[in-house]
């Protein structure tokens, strides 16, 4: 688990991981249903709005030098998730486990390539400004 030391950021990253684990278990055990899936996509929609704008506000406030690269990664992830959301069920309550697995892979990759990378760099920068 990548811990940045910025409390709100760590809590939200942890909450994302918790949802990824629920998704993963539901896929592996083939128990994922439309209600559970709606909770996960609802959380993810909240996350890309609130979490990304939270990090953005900190980047603006502290004139973070890599703001454009970081913003671009957030934008691409938001767009890719929106694209995946439309494929997760057939609109009649039947969950497509194959597409859900693709979402799960995407989220795990995001953890490794963004949360454990650029987000930790951002947190180090913010902490150096005396903020937590
Ligand atoms: Fe983050
Ligand atoms: Fe980020």
Asked, for residue 23, whether it belongs to a domain, the answer is yes
User: How many angstroms separate the alpha carbon of residue 94 from the centre of ligand 2?
Assistant: 32
Asked, for residue 77, whether it belongs to a domain, the answer is yes
- Contact status, residue 62 vs residue 125, Cβ threshold 8 Å: yes
Asked, for residue 123, whether it belongs to a domain, the answer is yes
Asked, for residue 1, whether it belongs to a domain, the answer is no
Structural domain of residue 93, as residue ranges?
7-128
* C-alpha dist (Å) from residue 47 to 52, 79, 130: 7, 13, 25
User: How many angstroms separate the alpha carbon of residue 108 from the centre of ligand 1?
Assistant: 13
Q: What is the rounded distance in angstroms from the CA atom of residue 131 to the CA atom of residue 125? A: 9
- Predicted confidence (pLDDT) at residue 67 exceeds the cutoff of 70: yes
pTM of the model: 0.94
**Number of domains composing the chain:** 1
Supply the pLDDT for residue 1: 74
CATH of the domain at 28: 1.20.120.50
Q: What is the rounded distance in angstroms from the CA atom of residue 45 to the CA atom of residue 39? A: 10
Query: What tens digit of pLDDT does each residue of 103-131 get?
Result: 999 999 999 999 999 999 999 999 998 87
């Amino acid at each position: 688990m990548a811990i940045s030391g910025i409390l709100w950021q760590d809590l939200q990253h942890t909450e994302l991981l918790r949802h990824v684990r629920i998704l993963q278990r539901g896929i592996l055990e083939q128990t994922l249903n439309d209600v559970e899936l709606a909770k996960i996509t609802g959380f993810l929609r909240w996350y890309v709005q609130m979490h990304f704008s939270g990090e953005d506000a900190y980047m603006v406030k502290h004139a973070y030098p890599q703001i454009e690269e970081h913003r671009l990664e957030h934008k691409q992830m938001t767009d890719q998730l929106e694209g995946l959301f439309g494929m997760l069920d057939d609109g009649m309550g039947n969950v497509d486990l194959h597409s859900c697995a693709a979402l799960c892979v995407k989220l795990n990759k995001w953890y490794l390539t963004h949360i454990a990378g650029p987000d930790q760099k951002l947190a180090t920068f913010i902490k150096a400004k005396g903020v937590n």
